[in-house]
Structure 1
Protein backbone atom coordinates (compact mmCIF):
# COMPACT_ATOMS: atom_id res chain seq x y z
CA UNK A 1 0.00 0.00 0.00
CA UNK A 2 1.32 3.44 -0.87
CA UNK A 3 1.90 6.24 1.61
CA UNK A 4 -1.52 7.74 0.85
CA UNK A 5 -5.00 6.36 0.29
CA UNK A 6 -5.86 6.19 -3.43
CA UNK A 7 -9.00 7.91 -4.73
CA UNK A 8 -12.18 6.28 -3.44
CA UNK A 9 -15.55 5.78 -5.09
CA UNK A 10 -17.85 6.33 -2.12
CA UNK A 11 -18.14 6.77 1.63
CA UNK A 12 -17.97 3.05 2.49
CA UNK A 13 -14.87 2.50 0.41
CA UNK A 14 -13.31 5.67 1.84
CA UNK A 15 -13.89 4.65 5.45
CA UNK A 16 -12.55 1.13 4.87
CA UNK A 17 -9.53 2.39 2.88
CA UNK A 18 -8.59 4.95 5.54
CA UNK A 19 -8.88 2.26 8.22
CA UNK A 20 -6.74 -0.05 6.07
CA UNK A 21 -4.16 2.73 5.66
CA UNK A 22 -3.92 3.29 9.42
CA UNK A 23 -3.53 -0.46 9.99
CA UNK A 24 -0.75 -0.41 7.40
CA UNK A 25 1.19 2.40 9.07
CA UNK A 26 0.90 0.61 12.43
CA UNK A 27 2.31 -2.53 10.80
CA UNK A 28 5.13 -0.42 9.31
CA UNK A 29 6.20 0.53 12.85
CA UNK A 30 6.72 -3.21 13.48
CA UNK A 31 8.63 -3.82 10.25
CA UNK A 32 11.91 -5.65 10.78
CA UNK A 33 11.54 -6.00 14.55
CA UNK A 34 12.45 -9.16 16.41
CA UNK A 35 10.02 -10.50 19.01
CA UNK A 36 12.31 -9.13 21.71
CA UNK A 37 12.29 -5.66 20.12
CA UNK A 38 8.51 -5.84 19.66
CA UNK A 39 8.20 -6.47 23.43
CA UNK A 40 10.59 -3.64 24.31
CA UNK A 41 9.33 -0.75 26.40
CA UNK A 42 12.05 1.80 25.61
CA UNK A 43 10.30 4.97 26.72
CA UNK A 44 8.79 6.13 29.98
CA UNK A 45 5.40 4.66 29.04
CA UNK A 46 4.59 0.96 29.26
CA UNK A 47 3.80 0.74 25.53
CA UNK A 48 5.54 -1.63 23.13
CA UNK A 49 5.07 -2.01 19.38
CA UNK A 50 3.88 -5.61 19.74
CA UNK A 51 1.51 -4.64 22.55
CA UNK A 52 0.05 -1.84 20.46
CA UNK A 53 -0.59 -4.23 17.56
CA UNK A 54 -2.38 -6.60 19.97
CA UNK A 55 -4.39 -3.82 21.57
CA UNK A 56 -5.59 -2.34 18.29
CA UNK A 57 -6.56 -5.78 16.96
CA UNK A 58 -8.49 -6.53 20.17
CA UNK A 59 -10.16 -3.11 20.07
CA UNK A 60 -11.25 -3.41 16.44
CA UNK A 61 -12.53 -6.94 17.01
CA UNK A 62 -14.46 -5.76 20.07
CA UNK A 63 -16.09 -2.92 18.16
CA UNK A 64 -17.21 -5.30 15.42
CA UNK A 65 -18.74 -7.49 18.15
CA UNK A 66 -20.61 -4.38 19.34
CA UNK A 67 -21.82 -3.66 15.78
CA UNK A 68 -23.09 -7.26 15.60
CA UNK A 69 -24.61 -6.87 19.08
CA UNK A 70 -22.73 -9.91 20.37
CA UNK A 71 -22.35 -10.43 24.12
CA UNK A 72 -19.38 -8.53 25.53
CA UNK A 73 -16.75 -10.33 27.58
CA UNK A 74 -15.97 -8.50 30.82
CA UNK A 75 -12.17 -8.27 30.88
CA UNK A 76 -10.18 -8.68 34.07
CA UNK A 77 -7.54 -6.18 35.08
CA UNK A 78 -4.89 -8.71 33.96
CA UNK A 79 -6.62 -9.11 30.57
CA UNK A 80 -6.44 -5.34 30.16
CA UNK A 81 -2.75 -5.16 31.11
CA UNK A 82 -1.83 -8.18 28.94
CA UNK A 83 -3.76 -6.68 26.03
CA UNK A 84 -1.07 -4.00 25.80
CA UNK A 85 1.88 -6.40 25.98
CA UNK A 86 3.37 -8.98 23.64
CA UNK A 87 3.75 -11.84 26.12
CA UNK A 88 6.75 -14.18 26.12
CA UNK A 89 4.47 -16.92 24.74
CA UNK A 90 3.43 -14.70 21.81
CA UNK A 91 5.23 -13.63 18.65
CA UNK A 92 5.06 -10.48 16.60
CA UNK A 93 4.28 -12.62 13.57
CA UNK A 94 1.31 -14.14 15.42
CA UNK A 95 0.05 -10.73 16.56
CA UNK A 96 0.26 -9.39 13.00
CA UNK A 97 -1.48 -12.50 11.61
CA UNK A 98 -4.31 -12.02 14.11
CA UNK A 99 -4.55 -8.36 13.09
CA UNK A 100 -4.94 -9.49 9.46
CA UNK A 101 -7.78 -11.85 10.53
CA UNK A 102 -9.50 -9.01 12.41
CA UNK A 103 -9.19 -6.75 9.34
CA UNK A 104 -10.75 -9.42 7.09
CA UNK A 105 -13.60 -9.89 9.57
CA UNK A 106 -14.24 -6.14 9.73
CA UNK A 107 -14.38 -5.86 5.95
CA UNK A 108 -16.73 -8.88 5.68
CA UNK A 109 -19.08 -7.56 8.36
CA UNK A 110 -19.17 -4.04 6.91
CA UNK A 111 -19.79 -5.45 3.41
CA UNK A 112 -22.89 -7.15 4.81
CA UNK A 113 -24.39 -3.96 6.26
CA UNK A 114 -26.54 -2.12 3.74
CA UNK A 115 -26.82 1.20 5.60
CA UNK A 116 -23.85 2.75 7.42
CA UNK A 117 -26.43 4.76 9.37
CA UNK A 118 -27.64 1.53 11.00
CA UNK A 119 -27.82 2.10 14.77
CA UNK A 120 -25.26 0.43 17.02
CA UNK A 121 -26.65 0.34 20.58
CA UNK A 122 -24.20 1.72 23.13
CA UNK A 123 -23.21 -0.79 25.80
CA UNK A 124 -24.27 0.62 29.15
CA UNK A 125 -21.61 -1.12 31.26
CA UNK A 126 -18.65 0.93 29.99
CA UNK A 127 -18.02 3.94 32.24
CA UNK A 128 -16.55 6.18 29.52
CA UNK A 129 -19.43 5.64 27.08
CA UNK A 130 -22.13 8.35 27.19
CA UNK A 131 -25.18 7.57 29.30
CA UNK A 132 -27.43 10.04 27.48
CA UNK A 133 -27.06 8.49 24.00
CA UNK A 134 -28.75 5.24 23.02
CA UNK A 135 -26.89 4.39 19.81
CA UNK A 136 -24.07 5.29 17.50
CA UNK A 137 -24.09 4.35 13.83
CA UNK A 138 -21.90 1.89 11.93
CA UNK A 139 -20.40 4.99 10.26
CA UNK A 140 -19.47 6.38 13.70
CA UNK A 141 -17.86 3.06 14.66
CA UNK A 142 -15.71 3.08 11.50
CA UNK A 143 -14.65 6.67 12.13
CA UNK A 144 -13.81 5.76 15.73
CA UNK A 145 -11.73 2.78 14.56
CA UNK A 146 -9.80 5.06 12.21
CA UNK A 147 -9.22 7.49 15.08
CA UNK A 148 -8.17 4.77 17.53
CA UNK A 149 -5.86 3.06 15.04
CA UNK A 150 -4.24 6.36 14.01
CA UNK A 151 -3.66 7.32 17.66
CA UNK A 152 -1.91 4.05 18.38
CA UNK A 153 0.02 4.06 15.10
CA UNK A 154 1.49 7.36 16.29
CA UNK A 155 2.36 5.78 19.63
CA UNK A 156 4.02 2.90 17.79
CA UNK A 157 6.07 5.36 15.69
CA UNK A 158 7.46 6.95 18.85
CA UNK A 159 8.19 3.61 20.52
CA UNK A 160 9.88 2.33 17.35
CA UNK A 161 12.07 5.40 17.09
CA UNK A 162 13.20 4.78 20.68
CA UNK A 163 14.08 1.15 19.84
CA UNK A 164 16.43 1.72 16.91
CA UNK A 165 15.97 5.24 15.57
CA UNK A 166 13.82 4.09 12.64
CA UNK A 167 11.12 6.50 11.48
CA UNK A 168 7.97 6.04 9.43
CA UNK A 169 8.97 6.96 5.88
CA UNK A 170 12.33 5.09 5.76
CA UNK A 171 10.50 2.07 7.26
CA UNK A 172 7.73 2.39 4.67
CA UNK A 173 10.35 2.71 1.91
CA UNK A 174 12.00 -0.51 3.10
CA UNK A 175 8.74 -2.43 3.58
CA UNK A 176 7.39 -1.38 0.18
CA UNK A 177 10.67 -1.62 -1.75
CA UNK A 178 10.97 2.06 -2.70
CA UNK A 179 14.20 2.86 -4.52
CA UNK A 180 16.79 4.87 -2.66
CA UNK A 181 16.91 8.55 -3.60
CA UNK A 182 19.12 11.45 -2.54
CA UNK A 183 16.49 12.46 0.03
CA UNK A 184 15.05 9.07 1.08
CA UNK A 185 17.05 6.05 2.11
CA UNK A 186 15.03 2.93 2.97
CA UNK A 187 15.62 1.66 6.50
CA UNK A 188 18.09 -1.18 6.88
CA UNK A 189 18.65 -3.22 10.02
CA UNK A 190 21.80 -2.44 11.89
CA UNK A 191 24.62 -4.91 11.21
CA UNK A 192 24.60 -7.69 13.76
CA UNK A 193 27.89 -8.18 15.58
CA UNK A 194 29.26 -11.72 15.68
Structure 2
Protein backbone atom coordinates (compact mmCIF):
# COMPACT_ATOMS: atom_id res chain seq x y z
CA UNK A 1 0.00 0.00 0.00
CA UNK A 2 1.32 3.43 -0.95
CA UNK A 3 0.63 6.12 1.61
CA UNK A 4 -0.20 9.63 0.39
CA UNK A 5 2.44 12.33 0.66
CA UNK A 6 1.70 14.39 3.81
CA UNK A 7 2.20 17.71 2.01
CA UNK A 8 -0.17 16.64 -0.78
CA UNK A 9 -2.77 15.69 1.83
CA UNK A 10 -2.53 19.06 3.58
CA UNK A 11 -2.75 20.96 0.29
CA UNK A 12 -5.74 18.85 -0.79
CA UNK A 13 -7.61 19.69 2.42
CA UNK A 14 -6.73 23.37 2.06
CA UNK A 15 -8.02 23.38 -1.52
CA UNK A 16 -11.27 21.75 -0.47
CA UNK A 17 -11.83 24.52 2.11
CA UNK A 18 -10.94 27.19 -0.44
CA UNK A 19 -13.49 25.89 -2.93
CA UNK A 20 -16.20 25.54 -0.28
CA UNK A 21 -15.68 29.18 0.70
CA UNK A 22 -15.88 30.44 -2.89
CA UNK A 23 -18.97 28.36 -3.62
CA UNK A 24 -20.88 30.32 -0.98
CA UNK A 25 -20.77 33.36 -3.31
CA UNK A 26 -22.40 31.56 -6.25
CA UNK A 27 -25.77 32.91 -7.34
CA UNK A 28 -25.84 35.89 -4.97
CA UNK A 29 -26.10 39.52 -6.02
CA UNK A 30 -23.60 42.22 -5.06
CA UNK A 31 -25.60 43.34 -2.04
CA UNK A 32 -25.93 39.87 -0.54
CA UNK A 33 -22.25 38.97 -0.92
CA UNK A 34 -21.20 42.22 0.80
CA UNK A 35 -23.83 43.00 3.41
CA UNK A 36 -23.05 42.51 7.10
CA UNK A 37 -24.96 39.58 8.55
CA UNK A 38 -23.68 39.65 12.15
CA UNK A 39 -23.32 42.42 14.74
CA UNK A 40 -19.56 42.47 14.00
CA UNK A 41 -20.08 42.95 10.26
CA UNK A 42 -19.20 39.47 9.00
CA UNK A 43 -19.98 39.18 5.30
CA UNK A 44 -19.31 36.61 2.58
CA UNK A 45 -17.07 38.55 0.20
CA UNK A 46 -15.12 40.03 3.11
CA UNK A 47 -14.31 36.51 4.31
CA UNK A 48 -12.86 35.69 0.90
CA UNK A 49 -10.82 38.91 0.85
CA UNK A 50 -9.49 38.17 4.34
CA UNK A 51 -8.49 34.58 3.58
CA UNK A 52 -6.84 35.62 0.29
CA UNK A 53 -4.81 38.24 2.16
CA UNK A 54 -3.86 35.76 4.88
CA UNK A 55 -2.63 33.22 2.32
CA UNK A 56 -0.55 35.81 0.48
CA UNK A 57 1.16 36.61 3.76
CA UNK A 58 1.62 33.14 5.20
CA UNK A 59 2.68 31.42 1.99
CA UNK A 60 4.48 34.47 0.62
CA UNK A 61 6.16 36.86 3.04
CA UNK A 62 6.78 34.09 5.58
CA UNK A 63 8.94 32.24 3.07
CA UNK A 64 10.68 35.25 1.52
CA UNK A 65 8.19 35.53 -1.35
CA UNK A 66 6.32 38.84 -0.93
CA UNK A 67 2.82 39.20 -2.30
CA UNK A 68 2.65 39.93 -6.04
CA UNK A 69 -0.35 42.17 -5.33
CA UNK A 70 -0.36 45.33 -3.18
CA UNK A 71 -2.50 44.89 -0.06
CA UNK A 72 -3.24 48.46 1.11
CA UNK A 73 -5.60 47.15 3.80
CA UNK A 74 -2.50 45.74 5.57
CA UNK A 75 -0.77 49.14 5.78
CA UNK A 76 0.33 50.33 9.23
CA UNK A 77 -2.37 53.04 9.27
CA UNK A 78 -5.21 50.83 7.93
CA UNK A 79 -8.21 49.99 10.06
CA UNK A 80 -7.57 46.57 11.67
CA UNK A 81 -10.70 45.16 10.01
CA UNK A 82 -10.06 46.67 6.57
CA UNK A 83 -9.51 43.22 5.01
CA UNK A 84 -12.86 41.90 6.28
CA UNK A 85 -15.15 43.96 4.06
CA UNK A 86 -15.23 45.05 0.44
CA UNK A 87 -15.95 48.63 -0.68
CA UNK A 88 -17.94 49.21 -3.87
CA UNK A 89 -14.70 50.24 -5.61
CA UNK A 90 -13.42 46.64 -5.34
CA UNK A 91 -15.33 44.24 -7.56
CA UNK A 92 -16.27 40.69 -6.72
CA UNK A 93 -14.07 39.65 -9.66
CA UNK A 94 -11.14 41.48 -8.09
CA UNK A 95 -11.59 39.69 -4.74
CA UNK A 96 -12.07 36.25 -6.30
CA UNK A 97 -9.09 36.94 -8.59
CA UNK A 98 -7.03 37.94 -5.56
CA UNK A 99 -7.89 34.64 -3.92
CA UNK A 100 -6.93 32.67 -7.04
CA UNK A 101 -3.67 34.68 -7.22
CA UNK A 102 -3.02 33.68 -3.61
CA UNK A 103 -3.58 30.02 -4.55
CA UNK A 104 -1.06 30.26 -7.41
CA UNK A 105 1.46 32.08 -5.21
CA UNK A 106 1.05 29.42 -2.51
CA UNK A 107 1.43 26.63 -5.08
CA UNK A 108 4.88 27.97 -5.95
CA UNK A 109 5.83 27.88 -2.27
CA UNK A 110 4.52 24.32 -1.98
CA UNK A 111 6.50 23.27 -5.05
CA UNK A 112 9.79 24.77 -3.86
CA UNK A 113 9.64 24.03 -0.12
CA UNK A 114 9.23 20.84 1.85
CA UNK A 115 7.21 20.60 5.04
CA UNK A 116 10.31 21.09 7.20
CA UNK A 117 11.28 24.35 5.44
CA UNK A 118 11.60 27.18 7.94
CA UNK A 119 10.15 30.65 7.43
CA UNK A 120 9.42 33.66 9.63
CA UNK A 121 5.99 35.19 10.15
CA UNK A 122 6.79 38.93 10.21
CA UNK A 123 3.67 39.94 12.15
CA UNK A 124 4.05 37.35 14.94
CA UNK A 125 6.07 38.04 18.12
CA UNK A 126 9.79 37.43 17.54
CA UNK A 127 9.89 34.45 19.88
CA UNK A 128 7.14 32.68 17.86
CA UNK A 129 8.00 33.93 14.36
CA UNK A 130 10.07 30.94 13.20
CA UNK A 131 7.71 28.38 11.64
CA UNK A 132 7.80 25.43 9.28
CA UNK A 133 5.75 25.10 6.13
CA UNK A 134 3.98 22.22 7.87
CA UNK A 135 2.91 24.50 10.72
CA UNK A 136 1.76 27.25 8.36
CA UNK A 137 -0.20 24.80 6.18
CA UNK A 138 -2.02 23.44 9.24
CA UNK A 139 -2.62 26.97 10.59
CA UNK A 140 -3.94 28.31 7.29
CA UNK A 141 -6.08 25.25 6.54
CA UNK A 142 -7.77 25.40 9.93
CA UNK A 143 -8.33 29.14 9.56
CA UNK A 144 -9.84 28.63 6.10
CA UNK A 145 -12.18 25.93 7.39
CA UNK A 146 -13.18 28.19 10.27
CA UNK A 147 -14.14 30.95 7.84
CA UNK A 148 -15.83 28.45 5.51
CA UNK A 149 -17.99 27.53 8.50
CA UNK A 150 -18.83 31.19 8.99
CA UNK A 151 -19.75 31.35 5.31
CA UNK A 152 -21.98 28.26 5.66
CA UNK A 153 -24.07 30.04 8.26
CA UNK A 154 -24.10 33.40 6.46
CA UNK A 155 -25.25 31.84 3.20
CA UNK A 156 -28.00 29.92 4.94
CA UNK A 157 -29.18 33.19 6.49
CA UNK A 158 -29.23 34.92 3.09
CA UNK A 159 -31.25 32.44 1.04
CA UNK A 160 -31.38 29.10 2.82
CA UNK A 161 -28.68 27.49 0.65
CA UNK A 162 -26.77 24.98 2.74
CA UNK A 163 -24.22 22.26 2.27
CA UNK A 164 -20.63 21.65 1.43
CA UNK A 165 -20.59 22.49 -2.27
CA UNK A 166 -22.67 22.37 -5.44
CA UNK A 167 -23.69 18.82 -6.26
CA UNK A 168 -22.62 17.59 -2.80
CA UNK A 169 -24.83 19.27 -0.22
CA UNK A 170 -23.78 16.88 2.57
CA UNK A 171 -27.36 17.21 3.85
CA UNK A 172 -30.31 14.83 3.67
CA UNK A 173 -32.60 16.78 1.36
CA UNK A 174 -35.57 14.54 2.24
CA UNK A 175 -35.19 15.18 5.95
CA UNK A 176 -37.89 17.12 7.81
CA UNK A 177 -35.76 20.18 8.56
CA UNK A 178 -38.74 22.27 9.68
CA UNK A 179 -39.68 19.56 12.19
CA UNK A 180 -36.07 19.38 13.36
CA UNK A 181 -35.91 23.14 13.90
CA UNK A 182 -39.20 22.99 15.82
CA UNK A 183 -37.81 20.25 18.11
CA UNK A 184 -34.61 22.23 18.73
CA UNK A 185 -36.61 25.39 19.48
CA UNK A 186 -38.92 23.50 21.87
CA UNK A 187 -35.94 22.01 23.69
CA UNK A 188 -34.41 25.48 24.09
CA UNK A 189 -37.68 26.86 25.50
CA UNK A 190 -38.01 23.88 27.84
CA UNK A 191 -34.44 24.26 29.07
CA UNK A 192 -35.08 27.93 29.82
CA UNK A 193 -38.23 27.18 31.84
CA UNK A 194 -37.22 26.79 35.51
CA UNK A 195 -40.31 24.68 36.29
CA UNK A 196 -39.37 22.09 33.65
CA UNK A 197 -35.75 21.95 34.83
CA UNK A 198 -36.59 21.16 38.46
| TMscore range, shorter length | 0.7 to 0.9
- Deviation by residue 1:132-184 (Cα, 9 ceiling, x = unmatched): 34511011111111011111111111111221121124x522xx7x9xx9639
Structure with greater helix share of residues: 2
1:43 aligns with 2:34: no
Partner of 2:16: 21
Change (3 A) 1:8 1:102: farther
- Deviation by residue 1:103-135 (Cα, 9 ceiling, x = unmatched): 01111221011x310111243xx4xx3553451
Change (3 A) 1:36 1:134: closer
Q: Do the aligned partners of 2:58 and 2:121 also contact (CA within 8 Å) in 1?
A: no
Q: Do the aligned partners of 1:41 and 1:48 also contact (CA within 8 Å) in 2?
A: yes
* Larger RCO: 1 or 2 (CA < 8 Å, sep 6+): 1
1:64 aligns with 2:55: no
In structure 2, what is the Cα distance between the partners aligned to 1:96 and 1:8? 34
Q: Give the greater-gyration-radius structure (CA).
A: 2
- Find runs of 4+ consecutive structure 1 residues off by over 6 angstroms: none
| Secondary structure of the corresponding residue to residue 127 of structure 2 | coil
The count of residues paired between Structure 1 and Structure 2 equals 167
In structure 2, what is the Cα distance between the partners aligned to 1:46 and 1:149? 18
Which moves more between the two structures, 141-150 or 66-75? 66-75
In structure 1, what is the Cα distance between the partners aligned to 2:129 and 2:146? 26
Relative to the length of structure 1, the TM-score reads 0.74
Q: Do the aligned partners of 2:57 and 2:66 also contact (CA within 8 Å) in 1?
A: no
